[in-house]
Amino acid sequence: MKKLILLYNFSGERLSGVRLSAVSVKALTKEIAKADYGKRLGSLAELKGYENAESGELTDFDDELLVMCGFGSEDIDMLLKSLRKHGVGRVALKAIITDTNKDWTSGELYRAVKEDHEEMLRRRQQQ
């Protein structure tokens, strides 16, 4: 499986920094247009068997979301370090395409990742 980073709502210097960071881990990047948010993640990541996957509900969102495909744990660590090095810093909403979520739409993934992120922030505030 090729290494690919799906990018949602990145622009300007942050987009440039993510692209530079992707090169450091030998990954391709793909900007996802809002019109494609209803497509299955497997289709967006060009996974085998998803060439003709039906689209689902189109949910719009404006937050940045970075989705990795074909990454191992070392690749993730290298990417995160490279994002800091190239001035991107933290990306609050990140995910990896898994067997569980490859059938999800971008909106479904966004809702799950956003919910997890907000729960993590709540736990930090309580400590």
User: Where does residue 70 rank: exposed (0-12), middle (13-18), buried (19+ CB within 10 A)?
Assistant: middle
Tell me if 27 sits within 8 A of 5, measured CB to CB. Answer: yes
Residue pLDDT, tens place only, 16-58: 999 999 999 999 999 999 999 999 999 999 999 998 888 898 8
pLDDT of 111 > 80? The answer is yes
Residue pLDDT, tens place only, 49-103: 998 888 898 899 999 999 999 999 999 999 999 999 999 999 999 999 999 999 9
CA distances from 123 to 95, 105, 126 (A): 20, 27, 5
Give the 3-state DSSP-derived string for 1-34, with helices as H, strands as E and coil as C. Answer: CCCEEEEECCCHHHHHHHHHHHHHCCCEEEECCH
Q: Which pLDDT belongs to residue 31?
A: 98
SS3 (DSSP) at 43? helix
Q: Which pLDDT belongs to residue 51?
A: 86
- Does the pTM exceed 0.85? yes
The rounded mean pLDDT for the chain is 95
pLDDT of 1 > 80? The answer is no
Q: Which pLDDT belongs to residue 127?
A: 85
Question: Who contacts 125 (Cβ-Cβ below 8 Å, separation ≥6)?
Answer: none
Q: Which pLDDT belongs to residue 53?
A: 84
